[in-house]
Amino acid sequence: MPTPQARVIIITTMIMTTDPVGLMRLLTWLSPAFPTGAYAYSHGLEWAVETQDLRDSATLLEWLSAVIEHGSARTDTILLRHALRAANDPSALRDIAELGLATAAGRERRDEALAQGKAFLRAAAGWGVPELPEDTPYSVAVGAMAGAHGIDEDSTAGAYLQTFASTLISAAVRLVPLGQTTGLQTLAALEPVILETAAATKHATLDDLGGCAFRSDLAAMRHETQYTRLFRS
């Protein structure tokens, strides 16, 4: 665990800027209004709420921190970074996409990644998309698009994680339920975790894919047979 001083250093080094056009595109592509269908997925949170693993702001913060630092969000950010660097290499992108699908913990996680990836690329077609396989996970699609348009890698990684957190907080606000203010307070509390994870993935290789947020992975699998469901994952 980093010391408080180390945490400050990490956060400081992750404050990046990108060019105005790149920033505009990044804000558009990762906006809640961009039609990826993310609102329909809870990433297993629905099962966690039913079992009372997730019941208030404190347990939500703990759950999301684990998923971001040690689980699927960390893995996705590594995939995003490598896809961004390989944006002009269709063969490498195909390999990264296949790895991304192989890391999915269960059928619904795989479906979630694929459905959002396809929706993202379809909606982003107006900007021009790189050559990608038909089955491309969302994180790989975002990374490849950012790389093809010359958008800063660190900015993209941080923005992706912030969008991931925002989406799941929105689901939790509806499921627990929590108030909008509580949701925003949780998002604010996650900022150091998001920045640290984005920084920690900068030099990660594809051999570093994988995580240990096992309860989250089990929640995603359990959701497949959950009796009453509002979300698709």
The token pair at 198 is: 């984005």
Say if residue 217's pLDDT is above 90.
yes
Distances (CA, A) of 162 to 91, 155, 168, 187: 29, 11, 10, 8
For the chain, how many structural domains are there in total? 1
d(CA 174, CA 197): 26
Q: Does the pLDDT at position 9 exceed 60?
A: no
Whether 3 maps to a domain, the answer reads no
pLDDT digits (tens, 9 = 90+) for 173-193: 999 999 999 999 999 999 999
Q: For residue 185, is it within any domain?
A: yes
* pLDDT, average across residues 214-233: 95
Whether residue 102 is contained in a domain is answered as yes
User: Sign of dihedral through CA atoms 7, 160, 64, 200?
Assistant: negative
End-to-end CA distance of the chain: 31
CA distance 147 to 131: 12
Is 163 within the bounds of a domain? yes
What is this structure's pTM?
0.92
Q: What is the pLDDT of residues 145-173, one digit of tens each?
A: 999 999 999 999 999 999 999 999 999 99
Question: What CATH number has the domain bearing residue 183?
Answer: 1.10.4190.10
Give residue 173's domain range: 42-223
C-alpha to C-alpha distance for 121 and 151, rounded to whole angstroms: 16
In SS3 terms, 86-113 reads as CCCCHHHHHHHHHHHHHCCCCHHHHHHH
In a domain, 132, yes or no: yes
Instruction: Establish if 51 belongs to a structural domain.
Output: yes
**Residue 16, domain member (yes or no):** no
Instruction: Evaluate whether residue 10 is within a structural domain.
Output: no
Across the range 205-225, mean pLDDT stands at 95
